Amino acid sequence: MTSGATLLRAGVFHTPRNPFREQSALECFADGGLLIRNGRIAACGPYSELHAVHPKVPVRDLRGGYLLPGLIDTHVHFPQIRVMGALGRELPDWLELVALPEEARMADIAYASDTARRFVRALAAHGTTTALVFGSHFKAATAALFRAADRSGLRVVSGLVMSDRLLRPELHQSAAEAYCDCSHLIRQFHGHGRLLFAVTPRFALSASEAILEVCQTLMREHEGLRFQTHINENATEIREVARLFPWAGDYLAVYERFGLCRPGAVLAHNVHASDSELERLAASDAAVSHCPCSNAMLGSGLFPLRRHIEAGVRCALGTDIGGGTGFGILKEALQAYALQRLAPGGMSLEPAHLLYLSTRAGAEALQLEHETGDFAPGKSADFMYLRAPEGSPLEGVLQHAESLDRVLAALFTLAGAESVAEVCVGGEPVVHDD
């Protein structure tokens, strides 16, 4: 009965419930156990109890570190990893002068393949096991990302980025080409291993009605596709969208017209949302990816988290690389915390909220909560093992932490990639493809 089973012993944190709605959503064990059998979570609880029930299961003693569910990044652009850190621009200029020229370089498949490998490696290095990723405007580059993700074992949801206007001519495709390329990628990768396809118009600004119709058709033609795009990020962008779609009452109405605001849809940013948009988002069960580092770097604005939560809109976190500042979802959660401290009417976030936003909330946004996001029995064993490097400031803080809440807060504040000692998906270490 114990074949293929291992009992991991360490500090354990997870949020099997939503702390925005329920008290005591956080489960944590100072001397915890995570029983893994055949790549799945079999049990999670105090080590002593699990060991008593399963005395013959081999134990891996990882005391001194902490097991957390694998992190989930719900908004990130793989072609933009080399343009992080451009300062002093807002979205329209940043796109034109920084991001899109780099996206155009993905036409070179050797360059794109190298970028995909670096991207996947960086996700895993930061403890991210699931990501919703903007692919490339080019089919071959998007396929390269899917292949790199597949080799690594990470759970990646991605798609060809579709646009037919207002970017750069080499990034535009016709509606017919977009349909054909997406259909091909869906057949090749959707549901293959841990990969899923997401229909991905860049944003309403660069997608004509013909492209949005293609999105609607693809969603109808295939089971289980996800959908991702941008919304309400920047005041200039919002004004332009209103001009381009004079029939739409607001930004969200553009996506609604084509049936794209739906469960499994993730709309990035929504910094400048009306009450009506929030109400309709909540009713649709679509999710918003909050990217606080990017919002601050591009001066997009302070995210109205309280209004989203009170309206009942699902929210999760995204790094929005290259607008954001790095791959760490822990850092992203800390930035959400910090900006909420400054935002008028901001929410006060506790460590449990940060963990939920970094893990289970992302799984729910992607309709993967049956598979990942916490340590409930039956789920895939997707986890990261955090251990403070010897002599590091984090080690010092952890030695003096008087409660598990304080430990978790310290991990969010100080644990970067150097503290990520192991990352597993389905109980197996992520494969590094060098």
Nearer to Zn ion, 7 or 293 (CB): 293
Contacts (CB under 5 A) with Zn ion, residues 261-280:
268
Is residue 8 exposed (0-12), middle (13-18) or buried (19+ Cβ within 10 Å)? buried
In the chain, the largest separation of any two C-alpha atoms, in whole Å, equals: 68
Q: How far apart are CA 73 and CA 163, in angstroms?
A: 23
Beta bridge partners of 288: 267, 315
In this structure, what is the dihedral angle of CA atoms 235, 237, 243, 248, given to the nearest 10 degrees? -90
Q: How far is the CB of 405 from Zn ion (least distance, A)?
A: 32
Nearer to Zn ion, 94 or 385 (CB): 94
Q: How far is the CB of 73 from Zn ion (least distance, A)?
A: 11
List all residues 6 or more positions away from 312 whose beta carbon is below 8 Å from its beta carbon. 282
Which single residue brings its beta carbon nearest to Zn ion?
320
Q: Residue 109: CA atoms inside 13 Å, Cβ hemisphere, count?
A: 6
Q: Which stretch binds Zn ion (CB under 5 A): 25-33, 194-202, 315-323, 420-428?
A: 315-323
Site string for Zn ion, 375-394 (x = CB under 5 A): --------------------
Q: How far is the CB of 80 from Zn ion (least distance, A)?
A: 8
- Retrieve residue 106's tokens: 């993905």
Nearer to Zn ion, 324 or 426 (CB): 324
How many residues sit in the footprint of Zn ion (CB under 5 A)? Answer: 2
Choose among 299, 378, 394: nearest CA to 88: 299
Beta bridge partners of 267: 229, 288
Q: How far is the CB of 134 from Zn ion (least distance, A)?
A: 6
* Residues 159, 179 contacting (CB under 8 angstroms): no
Choose among 159, 183, 383: nearest CA to 266: 159
Q: What are the DSSP calls for 128-179, one per residue?
A: EEEEEEE--SSHHHHHHHHHHHHHHT-EEEEE-EE--SSS-GGG---HHHHH
Q: Which stretch binds Zn ion (CB under 5 A): 88-96, 135-143, 313-321, 382-390?
A: 313-321
Q: How far is the CB of 268 from Zn ion (least distance, A)?
A: 5
Nearer to Zn ion, 103 or 320 (CB): 320
Q: How far apart are CA 343 and CA 341, in angstroms?
A: 6
* Residues 384, 420 contacting (CB under 8 angstroms): yes
Nearer to Zn ion, 91 or 334 (CB): 91
Q: Which stretch binds Zn ion (CB under 5 A): 22-30, 64-72, 320-328, 411-419?
A: 320-328
Site string for Zn ion, 219-258 (x = CB under 5 A): ----------------------------------------
Q: Which stretch binds Zn ion (CB under 5 A): 31-39, 114-122, 260-268, 362-370?
A: 260-268
Q: How far is the CB of 320 from Zn ion (least distance, A)?
A: 5
Q: How far apart are CA 21 and CA 25, in angstroms?
A: 9
If one asks whether residue 320 binds Zn ion (CB under 5 A), the answer comes out as yes
Nearer to Zn ion, 71 or 423 (CB): 71
Nearer to Zn ion, 266 or 357 (CB): 266
Nearer to Zn ion, 268 or 330 (CB): 268
- Retrieve residue 349's tokens: 């976030």
Q: Which residues bind Zn ion (CB under 5 A)?
A: 268, 320
